Amino acid sequence: MELSSRVHRPACCCSRQPITHRGSSLVRGLSGTWLAVLTLVALPLATASVARAHTSNSPAAEANAAASDHTQATRDQSLAAGLELERAQQWGDAIDHYESASRAFPEDRVLYQRLLISRLHFDVKRRYDDKTYLTSIRELSTSQALDLYSEILANLQTHYVDTIEWSRVLLHGTAALEVALTEEAFVNRVVSSAPPERIEAFRQAIHHRVADRSTQSRFDLRATVNVVAKAAHDELGISGTATVLEYVSGAVSTLDPYTRLLSPGQLDEMFSTIEGNFVGLGVELKAAEDCLLILSVIPNGPAAEAGIMAGDRILAVDATRADEHDPDHIADLLRGPEGTTAELLVESTNHQQRTLSVVRRRVDVPCVENIHIVDQANGIGYFRLTNFQKTTPREIEQALWSLHRQGMRSLVMDLRDNPGGLLSAAVEVADRFIPEGRIVTTRGRNARENFDYAAHRANTWDVPMVVLIDRNSASASEIFSGAIHDSQRGAVIGETSYGKGSVQGIFRMQAATFGLCLTTAKFYSPSGRAISLNGVEPNIVVPRTYIAARPDDNGRLVTELDDAVLQKSIEYLAR
């Protein structure tokens, strides 16, 4: 995330959100219309592969055909696996699956469509678990919701990284409403007493109702959504606000993986993340099959004072068991107003269970952890950076001086599992190590998003250094590691990073207390390499391992000797 110098719009560079992180969480989900599209697109692809097999006779041609058929078979298997996840309504897993499949088959429109529809299902469930979103439905009038829609569209037109096609925006908004009408979370809350057959008839007719309407401008879209909202109210009893907000959500959530509508609660949480503090228990979580695994505990926070430790597992929150509900729902229960209490059932690594009452309060979240000399003989310092936030430059400076006083002669900076954060923080930290030259370049459709960030600070830290990355190192992490790599300032060790090379701006809406996290630019490493889908390639490839001083999947804390990536960095610096 980048904090822009324009006060009204902090820009979020770059965070690829994990399933759960620092006590907050994300969870993500067949619709007849989209399934019909799937069938129409898939059949010609299968026919084409058969035709190639019958018209090619040379050995080379047969080999090419065989390879092509194998690729097609792999793609078909991937699609079948995704559809199975959809049938089970495992929308989060479906999104992860289709994202991976789309990377392998970037031109496949069917896989991309399934990804979009899974996101829409996930988003409906997420929104209707959000108390602040539900409050907005109750309090906003239809007119106010339409004003919000207009404001969102205006921001898309002005700031989005690519040219907006209004017909697609309307199509995706309609698809969002269509999907919502299949989800109990939506139907049970906003549809009055309409029988299922009437709901289904309305759902199937939505696209036909809007098919012939003009999509020449955003004003045309507002008029169309107003018509749909009135029809939904008259025929199903749905509030106009609920219908319009589905169009708002569908308009933004299908543009790319990182653009999204922020409810009032999510907007507050976003700024808490930027500032490095939030109201909660002070734990970092990972979703497991039947629990929430504690990855780390913030010192002096509520959880630490209650005796919770890294490696512990949360089995239930307020009597709601994790093995009976989606992990993200359990993680959401950990949130709450400052001063309220969460009742937790916690299991230690020795399988002892205990019940704890933990009071939520505001917690300052450190982003630098495990600061120490990892190799005394060679004076190799180490710290792990969990994300890039406003306090990151200051915390890193403090860590460097602490290591310096302990005799540091070289440094390992660990960015594994770092999902990103502020662009400004990534640039400032890179500037602390790189004496001159380009750090990162951003390019957007709007010329105001075009920047060339260069190192210029004197008195940089010139100790030999290694940066550790893995497949979960994203965005701001990739800005920093890409700058170190391309400037040859140090070695990058581990796996190729995630490849999230876009910048998001956070816009506060005026029409309602919502926010818009909008992709405004893409960024490029100093050599001009696009980070999107490519990532940063390490100088030395080492397969992923568990990270030292953090728990493995069984809750056991990993030792430094078990961390092969860290050991390779020590070996490299000790030469």
The sign of the dihedral angle between the CA atoms of 135, 248, 41, 160 is negative
Catalytic residues: 475, 486, 500
Q: Show the CA angle centred on residue 87, arms to residues 81 and 88, nearest 5°.
A: 95
Say how many CA atoms lie within 13 Å of 202 toward its Cβ.
26
d(CA 535, CA 415): 14
Phi, psi of 52 (to 5 degrees): -60, -40
CB 42 within 8 A of CB 110: yes
Return the H-helix or E-strand segment holding 4: none
CB 260 within 8 A of CB 517: yes
Identity of residue 292: L
Identity of residue 103: R
Cβ atoms < 10 Å from Cβ of 60 = 8
Cβ atoms < 10 Å from Cβ of 185 = 14
- Structure tokens belonging to residue 63: 């080999």
Q: Among residues 130, 99, 120, 134, which one has the least CA distance to residue 28?
A: 120
CB 558 within 8 A of CB 548: yes
- Structure tokens belonging to residue 129: 């678990």
* 558 burial type by CB count under 10 A (0-12 exposed, 13-18 middle, 19+ buried): middle
- Structure tokens belonging to residue 226: 């107003």
* 300 burial type by CB count under 10 A (0-12 exposed, 13-18 middle, 19+ buried): exposed
Residue with tokens 């049970």: 188
- Sequential DSSP letters for 428-461: HHHHHH--SEEEEEEE-SSGGG-EEEEE--SS--
- Structure tokens belonging to residue 154: 């205006």
Phi, psi of 112 (to 5 degrees): -65, -40
CB 381 within 8 A of CB 350: no
d(CA 399, CA 129): 39
d(CA 339, CA 511): 31
Phi, psi of 232 (to 5 degrees): -65, -35
d(CA 109, CA 172): 15
CB 477 within 8 A of CB 415: yes
CB 28 within 8 A of CB 19: no
